[in-house]
Amino acid sequence: MTQSLTIRRPDDWHLHLRDGAMMAAVLPETARHFGRAIVMPNLVPPVVRGDDAAAYRERILAALPEGATFQPLMTLYMTETTDPEDVRAAAASGLVTAVKLYPAGATTNSHSGVRDFDKVRGVLEVMAEIGLPMCVHGEVTNHDVDIFDREAVFIETVLDPLRRATPGLRVVMEHITTRDGVNYVRSQEDMGGTITTHHLIINRNHILVGGIKPHYYCLPVAKREEHRLALVEAATSGDAHFFLGTDSAPHPDHLKEHACGCAGVFSATNTMSCLAEVLETAGALDKLEAFASLNGPAFYRLAPNPDTITLTKGDPVAYPAKFPVGEDHVTLFDPGFPLHWRVED
């Protein structure tokens, strides 16, 4: 039985670092294991222009622990007034790696997102021209669409028509949660799909059975078990369409454990242990490197990280349950089973 596994250093292709005290608390947890990460731009106010991204990047670099080699890959938040030429300039300078499209109101701090997709046509055409990927939160926000159907409806009514109208646009459908998402991404060219740590492990029962579990509540919300199994199949297949994007999204506990709790799961600390357990259980531990370290860089046309990490299997790892942030805490994702794999220091 394998007790040790060495892989290229992984990357996180969907990460929330927030800002200020929260960023100072959670950034070291990502920098410890991951070489790079696509950093989400949904701050308040959002990271809309190149100048915003440059300033945010400097704050991230200033907050890194001494000696860390982590590289933040910056994104711009697409609005209906985004300037296509600002996007072009930010990409040409190497400052930004992607642009993020939030349907307005889809998730945390997405109210500045897009309602009328015709208003961003010019931005999308420039992105297709220069090969700059669009990362998309793939859900509709219509009140008449059931929350468990939002991803499938988005593919049919928004994403597929948008891609057909913009030939050459490279798209990452982030945090896919359904068999529909897996099948659509797998059938497309110039498209990738990120899968989160928690969506590989939990289904909607984990949130709702036996009482509401706010620390499992996320958007897109976890779906039926059949959809979780489809995600595990995609992540363990070696298919280059699929790669890790944790969507690690910290919120203070008082905003999670609330009458109208925030959506988000914080998983940066124990993601690699969780993934090793999931893939080993599926008999696909040999696919961990492709999913976490190789497929993402290939889509983004970057080289894999030159260095490696080693995971070893032994007694269960004792991760902290919470991390202090000022006078509050952030709760770490609990997979609900022991984690025997750890990243060696």
Binned average pLDDT, 10 residues per bin, the chain of 345 residues? 90 98 98 98 96 98 97 97 97 98 74 85 97 96 94 96 96 98 97 98 98 97 98 98 98 96 97 98 98 98 98 97 97 98 94
Cβ contacts of 91-94, under 8 Å, gap ≥ 24 = 91/130, 91/132, 92/130, 93/50
Q: What's residue 5's pLDDT?
A: 97
Instruction: Give the angle subtended at the CA of 85 by the CAs of 83 and 89, to the nearest 5°.
Output: 120
Residues 155 and 181 sit within 8 Å (Cβ to Cβ): yes
Closest CA to 234 of 193, 289, 202, 276: 193
Instruction: Give me 213's structure tokens.
Output: 């579990």
Tokens read off for 331 = 């709760």
pLDDT at 113: 81
What confidence score (pLDDT) does residue 224 get?
A: 98
User: Residue 329 and residue 53: Cα distance in Å, rounded?
Assistant: 27
Domain total in the chain:
1
Distance of CA 19 to the CA centre of its chain: 17
User: For residue 107, what are the CA distances in angstroms to 69, 133, 253, 302?
Assistant: 30, 20, 18, 29
Q: How far apart are CA 205 and CA 186, in angstroms?
A: 27
Give the structural domain span for 272: 4-343
Asked whether the bond before 320 is cis by omega within 30 degrees of 0, the reply is no
Whether residue 247 lies in the annotated active site? yes
The catalytically annotated residue of 247, 307, 315, 345 is 247
pLDDT at 74: 98
In angstroms, the CA 126 to CA 123 distance is 5
Q: In the prediction, which pLDDT does 1 show?
A: 57
Q: How far is CA 315 from CA 245, 278, 304, 344, in A?
A: 27, 17, 30, 13
Give this prediction's pTM: 0.97
pLDDT of residue 6: 98
- Please report, for the domain that includes residue 101, its CATH number: 3.20.20.140
Tell me what pLDDT residue 110 has.
Answer: 65
Confidence (pLDDT) at 106: 66
